[in-house]
Every structure is written in structure tokens, then in C-alpha cells.
Amino acid sequence: MISAIFRNAQDVRIARIPIGPPPATVRLDDVYLVLSTLTNTPVSNFKDQYNIRVTATGETLPAGCQAITAGKYQVLPKADAVDLTEAAPGAGLFPPRSSSKPGSRTPSRSGSSESLTLETTAAAEVKRYARFTMSLALRDRRCIVTGKMDPYILVGAHIIPHTWKNREYIGLPPHIRDALDDRGVDHISNGALMEGGIHTSFDFQHWSVVEEGDGKWRIIRITPSAPEEIIGKYLITPDAGGPSDGMSYPDLFIDPIFLRFHFRTAVFRHMQAAGDDDDHPFDDGEDKLMKDVIKVWGNDQRFNLFVESGGNIAEATE
């Protein structure tokens, strides 16, 4: 896996953007979108007020350039350019590790009455998720990424994770919080039917989507671990038809504000760059953690060390 590394005029690294295996390229419009997100600068300002220069040759990308290959680039201001500033990342896709409402206490799990309550809650959760997934199945009928229709591999995926509900959505941007307060996190506009593996990759934000107008959402690589076969594809919108309330399934597709939030948080989670170029090297699509996991699971001795250390993967891979 190779990447494009962007620096500003002061030679401070702004972003590292993954590019597929050679001879792959990345769209320049996607580059502008990532840089815009990280610096809180409108895309139009980047295009009008900045040049992108190839560090190795000193050449400026020509007008009309559509895509770039792997390498190092600098973002250089033209006359009267607006200064680049570092944008505040804000909330991540998932809430902080403590998923309970701020100020609340975790209930004790001892006692027969509390055990009964936990069992009842678990049953309710199963029913809740079943209803959520069924509503998505009626609308989407297939994985919205791959188009596969096998019910045994499809799951209901939240765009904004359900765990935010436990915190009453506190910490999310106001417009996201208002939408979830109004509709609920399990509303059809906050979900999609996906293959299990695609869903997991989406939650890890290895890939996200960018808006191209007319309801089209193109899949974009966020990390080297994104499934290669889905990059550049478009989300599959629902077929015509709708529930009995007169709405159409296409009109009930994912709310754009949720998909934009997923993209923004993915950029800050994985593409924001600082330090030397070799701080976080890409290596054929596998990061160090994934390599360590493979080491542990592929070796009985390492796995035993992992268990004996109480799940300490660092000790098991020393």
C-alpha cells in the first residue's frame, strides 16, 4: 500500500491519504475534500487559492489534473490565499469508552431480581435489533455495497452507532443529536443492510462515502485495510415502492447528515497526519496490530502466552 503525503507551505504535514496498489491513483477531488475537512477550508478555496506541487520534482500539478499517484506533495498558497488552520476533530464516530450516560452509575449484576432484569433486557434488545434489521431488509433487500441478497450474511448496520443512545447522544454535533432525538437511533434513516464483513470494515472506518449529487454516494478508501473490491463503487439505493404510509423507500434512504458525519470522523480518525513520514508506514494493507493478531492466532505457543497474560497481545508477540 502506498500513500500521498501532503504538507503546507511551512512544511508541516497535513494528511496521509492511502492509494491502492500500483498503478492505482486517487481522485484529486477526493484529495481536496480530505484537506478541506482537516483544515476547515472550503474546497473552492483550495482549488482557487492553492497550488499542489510534487515535492520530488518541484512541478505544480497542471490545470485539469484529475488524479494523482503515490508520492509527497506540498500545498502552496497563491497570492492573498486564506491561511490554513487545523480544524477541531470534534466527536468521533463512537462515544467514549464509558458508554453509560454521563453521571450515571452502572447497576450491580448480583441478585436474582437483577438477573431477571438483565435477561428481560437482553430479550428486548434482540427484539429491538430484529425490528431494526427487518425494516432495513424491506427497504434495501440486499447489501447496499455488494448487492448480495443472501440473508445468512446480511446484518442491520447503524451509521451512527447505537451506543450513543446510552449517553442520550451527548457529545454529538447538535444537528446529529437533534435528528436522533427526534427519530431514534434505530430509525431506518440511520441504517443500512450490509454483509457482516463489510459492516465491520465500515465501523472501523476503513472506508466511507462521498456525495456526488442526485443521491449518489461513492465509496472511498480511508485506510489500506479497506476491501479493494468495493472502492469506487456506489451505494445501491432502494428499489421503487414503499411502506403503507405513502412514503417511498428511496425517500427513506440513509439521511445524508449521518453519512457526512461518518466521512468526517473517518478522516480525522485515520488521515490526520503529524510528525515524520515514517511514523505510520503502510505495509501492503496490514497495520502492525493486524500482524500481531495473525501472529497470535497462527502460533499455539504465542496463543498460550496471550491467554496466560490475560489478553496482553504485546507480551504474546515479544
Q: How confident is the model at residue 302 (pLDDT cuts 50, 70, 90)?
A: low
Q: Are residues 187 and 264 in the same domain?
A: yes
Domain that holds residue 55: 2-77
If pLDDT is split at 50, 70 and 90, which confidence band does 273 have? Answer: low
Asked if residue 23 has a cis previous peptide bond (ω within 30° of 0), the answer is: yes
- pLDDT reported for residue 276: 38
Domain count, the chain: 3
What average pLDDT is seen over the chain?
A: 79
Establish if 295 belongs to a structural domain: yes
Decide if pLDDT at 291 tops 70: no
pLDDT score, position 279: 35
Residues of the chain above pLDDT 90, percent: 38
Same domain, 157 and 260: yes
More confident site: 271 or 22: 271
| CATH code for the domain of 32 | 3.10.20.90
What pLDDT was estimated at residue 314? 67
Flag whether 144 is in a domain.
yes
Residues 249 and 119 in one domain: yes
Higher pLDDT, residue 272 or 211:
211
Q: What is the pLDDT of residue 11?
A: 72
In a domain, 195, yes or no: yes
Residue 128 lies in a domain: yes
Better pLDDT: 126 or 187: 187
Same domain, 236 and 291: no
pLDDT value of position 286? 33
Rounded to two decimals, what is the model's pTM? Answer: 0.77
Task: Supply the pLDDT for residue 148.
Answer: 95
Mean pLDDT of 239-266: 82
In this structure, the answer to whether residues 131 and 261 fall within a common structural domain is yes
Residues 19 and 120 in one domain: no
Do 189 and 158 share a domain, yes or no? yes
139 and 175 inside one domain: yes
Q: Is the pLDDT of residue 294 over 50?
A: no
Model confidence band, residue 311 (pLDDT cutoffs 50, 70, 90): low
What per-residue confidence (pLDDT) applies to 63? 84
Which pLDDT value is given to residue 217? 96
Per-residue confidence (pLDDT) for residue 275, from 0 to 100: 36
Assigned domain for 276 exists: no
**Which of 24, 56, 77 finishes a domain?**
77
pLDDT at 81: 64
Answer yes or no: is 279 within a domain.
Answer: no
| In a shared domain, residues 200 and 57 | no
Residue-level pLDDT at 174: 93
266 and 292 share one domain = no
Is residue 17 a contact partner of residue 220, using CB atoms and an 8 Å limit? no
Inside any domain, residue 95: no
Phi, psi of 278, rounded to the nearest 5 degrees: -100, 10
46, 127: one domain:
no
Residue 90 lies in a domain: no
Tell me, yes or no, whether 9 and 66 share the same domain. Answer: yes
